[in-house]
Structure 1
Amino acid sequence: MVEKGKRRWPKRLVLGLVALVVLVAAYGVGLYFWAGARLRTTDAFAAYEGRPDRGAGTDWLLIGSDSRSSLTPEQRKKLHVGNDQGLNTDTIMVLHHGDSGPYLVSIPRDSYVAIPGHGKGKINSAYAIGGAPLLTRTVEQATGLRLDHYGEVNFLGFVDVVDALGGVRICVPEGGLRDEKSGADFGAGCQRMDGVQALQYVRARYSDPEGDLGRVKRQRQLVSAVAEKAVSVPVLLPPWKLIPFLSASLDALTVDTDTGVGALARMGLAMEGLSGGSGATTTVPVASEPEIAGVGDVVVWDPVKADRLFDALRNDTPIPTSGAN
């Protein structure tokens, strides 16, 4: 009887492992279809004559919409914002991943570029005028890149995503950061920030000597911090951590109609690679920041350096500003 009982243990162990694998697979498949069903999409791309050819690798246009109509009165007070109902972009980035990279390139929202059908203006006004389709076309024609995917995160959604992660760890540079208009009030050093604090941190620009160029660096810093924590074991393994995070992310995110969960997963891995030290982050090279009558203060790209950067992205080769932040 003892020998017979001993012989049953390997069989029971194998059956237990098989059952565990089946459960894990079912959980993963269930999450995949659940996420796909909840994914919100928009017609972000429109066909037009002269659209750039596809390059090597994959290019995302990532934007943060600063519409704050869904914020609670308390959140608006903390963020020092009104109840603006308009369409605006607070963040514009291109994420490239392929054999080279990943690379995350910030496009200053005051970049002075041609907006198809509307003359020259600040790049973020393209979104206000014509929504995602005009913004994607404006970015494609300004950079020469054929965008593959579009992702948009709204103001309140970003707050909820950070809170669902239990906050993120941000290292504030020497001298700290204080900005009355954004509500930012942070001493120097590494610290945990909740969603509202993180938004205060990335929105500050009036007290930053670099202005909007300083803000885009903090935006990339925060994106990396979110990606790093999102793929950590304490978030990915426990369902009670992973599902609330995914739910908040899906509620905050809108993508183009051709983007699915698989593409989002690959984008997340590219972001995680950036937070782990792979690839590089940078800003489109700037030549000057003049004031233009009827437009205001704008950012003018350095044409030679910007072309080199976009050529490298198009060809999936190391960007000339690798290592810059």
Structure 2
Amino acid sequence: MTDDHVRPIPRRPARGGDDVYVVDTRSRRGGGVAPRAGHAAARAGRSRATSPPPDGTRYDELGRPLPAATPSPPSAPRPRRGRRSGGRGAARWTVLALLLWGLFLLATPLHAWSTVARVDAAPDGNRPPASAGHTYLLVGSDGREDLSADERRELGTGSAEGRRTDTIILVHVPSGAGKAALVSVPRDSYLPIPGQGENKVNAAFAIGGPELLVETLEQASGLRIDGYAEIGFGGFAGVVDSLGGVDICVPRDMKDDKAHIDLEEGCQTLDGPDSLGYVRARYSDPKGDIGRAERQRQFLGAVMKQAATPSTVLLPWRWWGFTHAASSAVAVGEETGPTDSARLLLALRGVSSEETLSLVVPIADVNATTSAGSSVLWNDQQAAGLFTMLREGTPLDTPPPGTEGLPG
């Protein structure tokens, strides 16, 4: 560079009075400004930084290589909060609904049980010792006191005063192996009645009510009766109607004016009045009172089977209606609790599936002449054998001798 390329360019004097000169380094030929080495290096560095070579190395503005960046792992997709929270909300509502439904199913029979009438059925004095398992007395009463004149005509109950028993069934639930058993006691069974001499067992109920009937059967069987349940005419019909009728297979054409029925043979749905007539009829049955007892056990099993169907349990109004119709129709002993009631109902339900044996007290004569008129005499030996098996807890899987019906 020559001196003629240096020329002073006057500028505003700086503070202090010194002159400021700018050296013109432009080339004579090109008239451009020669790049400084530092600027060129910086531009080269920027070029390298903005355009990385094929090996992937990056540089800073001064051309220095930058450390290699560690690649970030791919992030997991974020869950869709709206959909998940919506699903959780639906699940919570479903669980809540199921809990409320379960509470309703449980609370309904408990509320119904709290309204059941109570009667004194435990006799005074000496009673048999506790047996293996549990034995309950189920009675169908023909009392008409709670029926209006129209209801008596509709149900065909007549107008007789007082209370008698159309149904007497001992229900035995074993504590161990073996099946439960329903043992029908014919209402005309001729038995000793405490303090009353010998008479038809039906008279015990008419004279002394549940207490005397329980005492009579305990002495005759040697079984301790652990609970008592009684259902009346109108109550029975109401229970059937609360279920929308009960499906039953009628074994033969049945026309009975006293029972107010005219039924054809075959399976059909019976309403309340027809059901009551079906379980009461005996004059149109060739087996008389024995045939009636068979139909009573059959029908009780059918009622409990219908009560346990989804069409009853899953419809709130029907479940409520059935449990409260049953509670208003039934009277139970003072010592009979909810657990006793549950055992009794489960045993009745088992009749339809043959998980419960359907028996009758062994009989020697169905038309014996006695001081009480035509009566039923038990086969003492076979009856004692049956009651001993129940008392001692001998498992029953088939009917014992003499318990299937009429004497051979």
- CA–CA separation in structure 1 for the residues paired with 2:219 and 2:81: 74
Which residue of 32, 56, 73 corresponds with 2:149? 73
CA contact (8 A) 1:182 1:200 kept: yes
Q: Give the aligned partner of residue 194 of structure 1.
A: 271
> Which residue in 2 is equivalent to 1:121?
199
Aligned ranges for residues 141-160 of structure 1 at < 5 Å?
Answer: 141-160=219-238
Q: Name the residue aligned to 1:86.
A: 162
Question: Mean Cα displacement is larger for which, 4-13 or 128-137?
Answer: 4-13
- Cα offset for 1:215? 0.8
Give the Å deviation of 1:320.
5.8
- Aligned residue number for residue 296 of structure 1: 373
Structure 1 residues not aligned, in runs of 5+ = none
Helix, strand or coil: the match of 1:280?
Answer: strand
Residues 309/320 of structure 1: CA separation in 2 closer, same or farther (3 Å cut): farther
**Shift in Å, 1:206:** 1.3
Cα separation, 1, equivalents of 2:154 and 2:110: 37
1:84, distance to aligned residue in structure 2 (A): 2.4
CA RMSD of aligned residues (A): 2.0
Whichever residue aligns with residue 88 of structure 1, its letter is: R
Moved more, 82-91 or 153-162: 82-91
Q: Take 2:342 and 2:398, find their aligned partners in 1: how far apart are those partners?
A: 27
Q: Is the 8 A contact 1:36 1:260 kept in 2?
A: no
Equivalent position amino acid for 2:363 in 1: V
Assess if the C-alpha contact under 8 Å between 1:32 and 1:261 holds in 2. Answer: no
Letter paired with 1:84: A
Out of 63-72 and 243-252, give the one that drifted further.
63-72
Per-residue Cα deviation, 1:264-303 (whole angstroms, up to 9, x for no partner): 2232222112222212101101101344354111000001
CA contact (8 A) 2:229 2:333 kept: yes
**Which whole-Å CA distance do the structure 2 matches of 1:315 and 1:263 have between them?**
20
**Partners of 1:219 and 1:29 in 2: how far apart?**
28
Report the structure, 1 or 2, having the larger helix content: 1
Map 1:149-298 onto structure 2 (within 5 A). Answer: 149-174=227-252, 176-298=253-375
Cα-to-partner distance string for 1:53-84 (whole Å, 9 max, x where unaligned): 11111111000000123333334234443222
| SS of 1:210 mapped into structure 2 | coil
Whole-Å Cα distance in 2 between the matches of residues 232 and 315 of structure 1? 35
Give the number of aligned pairs. 323
Cα distance, 1:180 vs structure 2: 2.0
2:134 is aligned with 1:58: yes
Answer yes or no: is 1:108 the counterpart of 2:196.
no
2-structure distance, mates of 1:39, 1:293? 39
Aligned to 2:350, what secondary structure does the other structure show? helix
Segment of structure 1 superposing worse, 194-203 or 309-318:
309-318
* Alpha carbons 1:309, 1:320 under 8 Å: kept: no
Q: Distance in 1 between matches of 2:132 and 2:167?
A: 25
1:132 alignment partner in structure 2: 210
Question: Structure 1 residues 135-144 or 305-314, which shifts more?
Answer: 305-314
SS at match of 2:80: helix
Amino acid at match of 1:107: V
- Residue 103 of structure 1 aligns to a residue whose secondary structure is strand
* Structure 1, 297-306 or 259-268: larger mean CA deviation: 259-268
Secondary structure of residue in 2 paired with 1:109? coil
Q: Distance in 2 between matches of 1:262 and 1:237?
A: 23
Quote the residue 2:171 is aligned against.
95
More relative contact order, 1 or 2 (CA 8 Å, 6+ apart): 1
Q: CA offsets, 1:88-135, max 9 Å, x none?
A: 111000111123222111000000011011111100100111111100
Paired-residue identity, %: 39
* Corresponding residue number in structure 1 for 2:27: none
Bigger Cα displacement from structure 2, 40-49 vs 112-121: 40-49
Letter in 1 for 2:362: P
Given residue 93 of structure 1, which amino acid in structure 2 is its aligned partner?
A: I
The structure whose Rg is larger is 2
Kept in 2: contact 1:66–1:154 (CA 8 A): yes
Task: Indicate how the Cα distance of structure 1 residues 46 and 122 shifts in structure 2: closer, same or farther if over 3 A, else same.
Answer: same
1:309–1:319 contact (8 Å) kept in structure 2:
no
Distance 1:202 1:285, change over 3 A: same
In structure 1, the residue matched to 2:59 is none
- Superposed CA deviations along residues 39-63 of structure 1, whole A, max 9, x for unmatched, are 21111102312x1111111111000
The one-letter code sitting in structure 2 at the alignment partner of 1:43 is: D
Query: Secondary structure at the residue paired with 1:310?
Result: helix
